[in-house]
Amino acid sequence: MVLRAPALQLEPIEPATLARAGLATFRNIAEEWQLDAEQQMALLGLTSRTTFFRWKKTPPSSLPPDTLERLSHVFGIYKSLQILLPGSSAAEWIHKPNDAPLFEGRPALDLMLGGVASLFLVRAYLDGERGGDFA
């Protein structure tokens, strides 16, 4: 006989709440990582400065799926760095040249700015370094 825990029923999160929380968390990470506006825009996948600064002032009622995916990868990268590196070393890591083959001597941030697929690669690399899968 197999015993299973009952399925957890989560309440749906309102898109506006998700947007507000996601962008607030992103801003905190961007500040810790000392990212400028252009770098933040690239990580979010934004090309419009107007949209970026509007989102900073007042979060939108919802975020596009692409932005949500990007935020997920940034949060995963941040989490892995907090596990792997103590204190300020985590924030410094993304700016330092990296000899791992994935980075080809460049800082991780250079790769991360390349788009959602690049964010995925950095996240997967760090998850592998800490011995885990996406979590």
**Residue 132 carries which side chain, given as an amino acid letter?**
G
Angle, CA 58 vertex, CA 112 and CA 11 arms, to 5° = 80
Average pLDDT over residues 70-96: 94
- Residue type (1 letter), 6: P
Q: Are 6 and 51 in contact (CB under 8 A)?
A: no
Q: Look up residue 87 and give its DSSP letter.
A: T
Backbone angles phi and psi of 56, in degrees to 5: -65, -40
Per residue in 4-60, pLDDT (tens digit) is: 877 788 888 899 999 999 999 999 999 999 999 999 999 999 999 999 999 999 999
